[in-house]
Amino acid sequence: LIELTYEYENFEEHSKLNKKRDFASSLIHLIDDDVSMLIVLKDVLEERGWMVITSTNPENAVNQFFDMQPDCMVSNIDLLDENDLQLLSVFKEYTEKYFIPKILTSSKNDKETRINAYKMGADDFISKPVDIDEFVAKVERHLQRKKIFDQSVLIDELTQVYNRRFLDSSLPRFFDEFKRTKQPFTLAVADIDHFKNVNDTYGHQIGDRVLLEFAAFLKVNVRSTDIVYRYGGEEFVIIFPRTTSAEAKKRLTDLIELFSREVFKVKDHNSFSVTFSAGLYTVYEETATPASAFKNADMALYKAKNNGRARVET
């Protein structure tokens, strides 16, 4: 039984599903050709519980950066020739867009070098030899700010799942991945049934609580590789990587069944339950686009609504 209260402060205590979202620990990318220094810095950062990847040359760095998508980048600029600088500018668009902090290091510490580093897009500059304590403090501060940015820009404020903006920006990557691996993936649209009734009966505030519970339910009950987004209102998108249509249909059927058994209770009201419907589309062909996949999943959702709700259609 999930008790829904009107007091926002008490809500988390009453909610058995709304487990705190645990962010994976931050990933830091170190780029330097000084291997012994890389080892020292990697050690101190890992001691602090962060994950670290290292690259000793700019070409590797670009590949690793895009494969791993780190939260912070620390790069030595001393050995970069014109070519490398151009390579580094490849990072720029991406790091600016996602506010990934760039700390640039140099064994020079003259004014010109420092100004140059900031012109190259540095958010911070550290001269070598690196003072370890100061280095760790700087990295920590940049990671804190990055986390705040991620939460405010990519996470839906009410439900704490990813928002539509993040869906739009991450969706193309699943299609790229498909072209590379030929492994089908499924996009599902899930929409709460007769949600308007919840608002009309219990008020908008309780409606919000139900939305939060629904999002938490999805998050807790999908696999760790599946991703939940709030698309808008009472509509959510779930991406199931490497999942066929039949597998996704089975999984959503189970989720629909499981959620329908949750019982909500509002003080001075009878308890009630809520169901949801889902439409899914599985990408098997290279001609599929984010827009077409979404449209197909949405049409399937429409079918699920017409066929009686609390069901999934393809």
Please report, as residue ranges, which positions from 183 to 202 form the binding site for Mg ion (by CB under 5 A): 191-192, 195
CB of 203 to ligand GH3, least distance (A): 8
Are 275 and 259 in contact by the 8 Å Cβ rule? The answer is yes
| Short-list 218, 116, 199, 99, CA closest to 159 | 218
Q: What is the DSSP letter of 104?
A: E
Contacts of 185 (CB under 8 A, 6+ apart): 174, 177, 178, 239, 240, 241, 242, 243, 282, 283
Binding site for ligand GH3 (CB under 6 A): 191-196, 199, 204, 207-208, 211, 233-234, 305, 309
Residue tagged active-site, from 9, 93, 140, 234: 234
CB of 150 to Mg ion, least distance (A): 27
The reply to whether 156 sits near Mg ion by the rule CB under 5 A is: no
244 binds, among Mg ion, ligand GH3, none (CB under 5 to 8 A by kind): none
The reply to whether 235 sits near Mg ion by the rule CB under 5 A is: yes
Q: Where are the beta strands (DSSP E) in the chain?
A: 2-4, 27-31, 51-55, 72-76, 102-106, 124-127, 185-192, 227-232, 235-240, 264-266, 276-283, 312-313
71 binds, among Mg ion, ligand GH3, none (CB under 5 to 8 A by kind): none
58 binds, among Mg ion, ligand GH3, none (CB under 5 to 8 A by kind): none
Q: Is residue 101 reached through a cis peptide bond, with omega within 30 degrees of 0 on the bond before it?
A: no
285 labelled catalytic? no
235 binds, among ligand GH3, Mg ion, none (CB under 5 to 8 A by kind): Mg ion
CB of 291 to ligand GH3, least distance (A): 21
Torsion of CA 53, 56, 58, 64, to 10 degrees: -30
Binding track, positions 247-266, relative to Mg ion; x by CB under 5 A: --------------------
Distance CA 210, CA 213 (A): 5
CB of 162 to Mg ion, least distance (A): 18
Binding site for Mg ion (CB under 5 A): 191-192, 195, 234-235
Task: Please give the positions annotated as active site.
Answer: 234
